[in-house]
Amino acid sequence: AQSVTQLGSHVSVSEGALVLLRCNYSSSVPPYLFWYVQYPNQGLQLLLKYTTGATLVKGINGFEAEFKKSETSFHLTKPSAHMSDAAEYFCAVSGKDTGRRALTFGSGTRLQVQP
């Protein structure tokens, strides 16, 4: 079984401030982890993913995330927020050997960027 918990349904930061969106996962098998972004009334776009190898993963638009197995976490960060980062962000997990090969999503975090 897999699950994802995103702490904080809403996060507000000032433009230029650090962005930190939290994600903790539960998986009985080695996980594959993903962060997606969604703008209003649109589909989801992949920001970054962790499958194997380096635990610090860099993605698009200056975002990065670090896989910490001991903490079962995959938090998303960006050093300096931009107004265009305002959107909803979803963390997702997929297990390598699970019979159900679908991504399981967290409930999402809406990021607000204040000028």
The one among 58, 69, 82, 96 contacting other proteins by CB under 8 A: 96
The one among 53, 54, 56, 101 contacting other proteins by CB under 8 A: 101
The one among 81, 90, 93, 113 contacting other proteins by CB under 8 A: 90
CB 46, min distance to other proteins, A: 5
Instruction: Tell me, letter by letter, the H, E, C secondary structure of the chain.
Output: CEEEEEECCEEEEECCCCEEEEEEEEECCCEEEEEEEECCCCCEEEEEEECCCCCEEECHHHCEEEEECCCCEEEEEECCCCHHHCEEEEEEEEECCCCCCCCEECCCEEEEEEC
- Size of interface with other proteins, in residues (CB under 8 A): 24
CB 67, min distance to other proteins, A: 14
Which part of the chain contacts other proteins (CB under 8 A), choosing from 11-19, 65-73, 78-86, 99-107? 99-107
- CA–CA dist 59, 113 (Å, integer): 19
Is residue 17 a contact point for other proteins (CB under 8 A)? no
CB 89, min distance to other proteins, A: 11
